[in-house]
Amino acid sequence: MRTLLALVSPALLLLATLAPRANAAAEPQTFSTSAGPVKITPLNHASTLIEAGGKVIYLDPAKPVKFSGLPKADLILITDIHGDHMDPDSIKEISKADTEIISSPAVAQTVTTAKPLANGETKTWQQWTIDAIAAYNIKRGPSPGKLFHDKGRGNGYVLTYGGKRFYFSGDTEGVPEMRALKNIDVAFVCMNLPYTMPPEEAADAVKAFHPKVVIPYHYRGSDLSVFQKALQGTGIEVRLLDWYPK
């Protein structure tokens, strides 16, 4: 029996190491860069875990993600003031003494430890370059004359590491700032009505800036097959991941 256990235990340990984290919504996506691999793990909705160079970055950590067992954050990026992006409880849970937080100025009014980064501004953190991209509605809102997301309040981010550029849209429609992006390797693009945009509008915006890979996120209730079909023949790789685990 002892001999059998000695043979089985290493195999179980290997499987445990290779298995995706239980708290992840979908399999991690790993991208090669000149500075080493970047591993991006969907957690839920907009919440995302990014790991590279021994550093841990969270984007929009929020409920219902259970962060127990996940690594503490070296950096937290927050896009907007809504609860599915800005969650003080989750921020507190994953923070350690030297965790840095970067957010839009509107978020920094509540998360007072955050360093504000306004639309169009750029900041360097460790080996990363962080560009704040405007994220807002052009036409959709709760009532006439009002928008769900006003221009200047929220950020998308372009994160550059080892020569690769990763775009996270935040809450936005296909605004000119998105359509004007250049040299994006991987784009995470939102789509959900009524708050952002439908899949066909998201696909049209993606065609304009033509990333190498696009991954829908923040898509609750959207028909991703519409998005995928609209991008057929463009040369853009569409990866559909499950951001909403049962």
Question: Tokens representing 61?
Answer: 């950590």
Is residue 173 within 8 A of residue 193, CB to CB? The reply is no
Q: Please name every residue paired with 55 in a beta bridge, in sequence order, or none if there are none.
A: 52
Q: What is the reported pTM?
A: 0.90
Tens digit of each residue's pLDDT (9 = 90 or more) over 3-34: 333 333 333 333 333 334 557 888 999 999 99
| Average of per-residue pLDDT values in the chain | 92
Q: φ, ψ for residue 176 (rounded to 5)? A: -55, -35
Superfamily of domain 24-238: Ribonuclease Z/Hydroxyacylglutathione hydrolase-like (3.60.15.10)
Tens digit of each residue's pLDDT (9 = 90 or more) over 42-72: 999 999 999 999 999 999 999 999 999 999 9
Question: Tokens representing 27?
Answer: 């399999």
Q: What are the domain boundaries of the chain? A: 24-238
Q: Please name every residue paired with 165 in a beta bridge, in sequence order, or none if there are none.
A: 160
Tens digit of each residue's pLDDT (9 = 90 or more) over 86-134: 999 999 999 999 999 999 999 999 999 999 999 999 999 999 999 999 9
Distance CA(24)–CA(40), nearest Å, equals 10
Question: Tokens representing 95?
Answer: 């923070």
